[in-house]
């Protein structure tokens, strides 16, 4: 499954309980051993404590049996994929809690073009990073308070999950004349950087985990399309859930309607590409996985609301269809793929008909 999935086993509550039980039993027995005195100083054996130690050892044996069973289940591909899928669904619900409204614009835009000053690029101050690493979290609420208090417009250059090179601008603050080193340091303190990505604010983290499992399953060394299709099922569930959610706007305004933050926000199209691009490229010669990809796209498209979302899915379907025509030699397989592609077009037509 790859080293990036080790964190899932480390976070598992059952594994943590087993480790804690073993350590607690070991430390308890060591402490009891110190109270047992030799014959020279007067024999003393803490019978009650020793009895408790024996009970703890029996419990530890039972926990060991549970651990063997638990690990045997958790390392099964289907269970691991389902666990990562649950993490992805929880991330979507946490980061995008609001249900989608049909009148909402798909891509967040400025309320008015004049909200962004024309001289922003010339008179903004870059706030550089002191280290290289992944952006693990950004405190947007605190950045909003700082920008409002000091009458600033802050544009973020990175979002959680992206890699920053030392010296690159984490953000730009406007106007430069209102900024000093103290305010710049406060803005910088709201970016958490580290050597690895975290799932706290990074919805692509779990998507990449599922993609990694699928890519390893599709490799010539493993050749396990069933596992790859299981990953696609979970990705489809996540994208369908995302289609029903409101993605927070890239432009954030204060209570007085003044633009304060410009965030590098995620988009449905971007997450769709992250979920499907690498799998589509690796599965070009596999008819079963290719057909399953198109089936998932049809399922997700039925849940979409805005045309831009359907355009992103249709773009993926078109690339899948073109790639399969070139890479799959069997004519009947190509026909099955074409039939599934036509189903996607029918779903698209139904959306067009319902919007009239």
Residues 239 and 322 in one domain: yes
pLDDT at 349 over 80: yes
pLDDT in tens, 116-169: 888 888 889 999 999 999 999 999 999 999 999 999 999 999 999 999 999 999
Assess if residue 128 is contained within a domain: yes
Categorize the per-residue pLDDT at 39 as very low, low, confident or very high, splitting at 50, 70 and 90.
low
Residues 190 and 208 in one domain: no
Assess if residue 341 is contained within a domain: yes
Mean pLDDT of 18-46: 82
Give the pair of three-digit tokens for residue 128.
Answer: 């550089």
> What's the whole-model pTM score?
0.84
Assess if residue 252 is contained within a domain: no
Give the length of the chain: 356
Of the residues 46, 75, 104, which one is the last residue of a structural domain?
Answer: 75
Residues 208 and 348 in one domain: yes
Determine the pLDDT at residue 321. 94
pLDDT at 33 over 60: yes
Residues 71 and 163 in one domain: no
Determine the pLDDT at residue 40. 62
Determine the pLDDT at residue 25. 94
The pLDDT mean for the chain works out to 89
Minimal CA–CA distance to 275: which of 316, 235, 322?
235
Assess if residue 259 is contained within a domain: no
C-alpha distance from residue 325 to each of 284, 289, 316, 338, 344 (Å)? 9, 14, 14, 9, 17
Of the residues 52, 75, 98, which one is the last residue of a structural domain?
Answer: 75
Residues 66 and 188 in one domain: no
Torsion-angle region of 202 (φ positive above 0: left; ψ -120 to 50: alpha; else: beta) = beta
- Give the strands of the sheet with 169-174, arranged side by side: 125-128, 169-174, 153-156, 259-262, 251-253
Residues 162 and 242 in one domain: no
Assess if residue 320 is contained within a domain: yes
Assess if residue 80 is contained within a domain: no
Residues 275 and 299 in one domain: yes
Mean pLDDT of 228-253: 92
Determine the pLDDT at residue 7. 77
Mean pLDDT of 244-266: 89
pLDDT in tens, 76-122: 889 999 999 999 999 999 998 876 554 444 444 555 556 788 888 88
Assess if residue 54 is contained within a domain: yes
Token pair 């607690």 is found at 24
Contact 15, 70 (CB under 8 A): yes
Determine the pLDDT at residue 56. 94
pLDDT in tens, 167-200: 999 999 998 887 888 999 999 999 999 999 988 8
Cβ-proximal residues to 62 (8 Å cutoff; 6+ apart), any chain: none
Categorize the per-residue pLDDT at 38 as very low, low, confident or very high, splitting at 50, 70 and 90.
low
Looking at the structure of the chain, the number of domains it has is 3
Residues 221 and 350 in one domain: yes
Torsion-angle region of 123 (φ positive above 0: left; ψ -120 to 50: alpha; else: beta) = alpha
Consecutive H or E run containing 199: none
Determine the pLDDT at residue 26. 94
Q: What is the 3-state secondary structure (H, E, C) of 253-312?
A: ECCCCCEEEECCCCCHHHHHHHHHHHHHHHCCCCHHHHHHHHHHHHHHHHHCCCHHHHHH
Query: Which residues constitute the domain of residue 41?
Result: 3-75
Assess if residue 92 is contained within a domain: no
Contact 343, 296 (CB under 8 A): no
Contact 218, 289 (CB under 8 A): yes
Of the residues 150, 176, 194, which one is the last residue of a structural domain?
Answer: 194
3-class state of residue 102 by DSSP? coil
3-class state of residue 45 by DSSP? coil
Residues 280 and 148 in one domain: no
Residues 176 and 45 in one domain: no
CATH number at residue 188: 3.90.1170.30
Residues 230 and 190 in one domain: no
Residues 347 and 318 in one domain: yes
Categorize the per-residue pLDDT at 278 as very low, low, confident or very high, splitting at 50, 70 and 90.
very high
């Amino acid at each position: 499954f790859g080293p990036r999935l080790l964190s899932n086993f480390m976070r598992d509550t059952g594994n943590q309980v087993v480790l804690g039980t073993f350590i607690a039993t070991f430390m308890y027995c060591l402490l009891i051993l110190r109270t047992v005195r030799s014959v020279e100083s007067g024999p003393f054996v803490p019978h009650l404590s020793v009895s408790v130690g024996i009970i703890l050892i029996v419990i530890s044996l039972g926990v060991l049996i549970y651990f063997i069973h638990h690990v045997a289940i958790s390392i099964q591909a289907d269970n691991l994929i389902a666990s990562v899928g649950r993490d992805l669904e929880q991330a979507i619900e946490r980061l995008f809690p609001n249900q989608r409204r049909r009148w909402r614009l798909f891509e967040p835009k400025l309320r008015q073009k004049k909200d962004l000053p024309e001289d922003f690029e010339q008179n903004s101050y870059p706030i550089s990073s002191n280290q290289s690493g992944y952006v693990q979290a950004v405190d947007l609420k605190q950045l909003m308070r700082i920008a409002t208090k000091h009458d600033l417009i802050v544009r973020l250059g990175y979002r959680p999950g992206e890699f920053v090179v030392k010296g690159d601008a984490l953000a730009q603050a406007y106007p430069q004349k209102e900024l000093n080193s103290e305010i710049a340091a406060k803005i910088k303190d709201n970016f958490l950087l580290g050597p690895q990505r975290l799932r706290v604010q990074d919805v692509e983290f779990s998507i990449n985990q599922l993609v990694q499992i699928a890519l390893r399953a599709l490799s010539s060394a493993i050749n396990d399309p069933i596992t790859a299709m299981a990953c696609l099922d979970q990705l489809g569930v996540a994208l369908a859930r995302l289609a029903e959610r409101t993605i927070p706007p890239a432009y954030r305004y204060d209570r007085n309607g003044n633009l304060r933050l410009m965030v590098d926000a995620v988009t449905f199209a971007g997450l769709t590409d992250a979920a499907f691009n690498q799998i589509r490229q690796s599965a070009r010669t596999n008819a079963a996985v290719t057909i399953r990809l198109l089936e998932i796209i049809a399922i997700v498209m039925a849940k979409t609301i805005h045309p831009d979302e359907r355009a992103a899915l249709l773009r993926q379907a078109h690339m899948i269809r073109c790639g399969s025509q070139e890479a799959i030699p069997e004519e009947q397989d190509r026909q099955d793929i074409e039939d599934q592609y036509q189903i996607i077009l029918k779903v698209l037509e139904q959306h067009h008909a319902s919007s009239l």
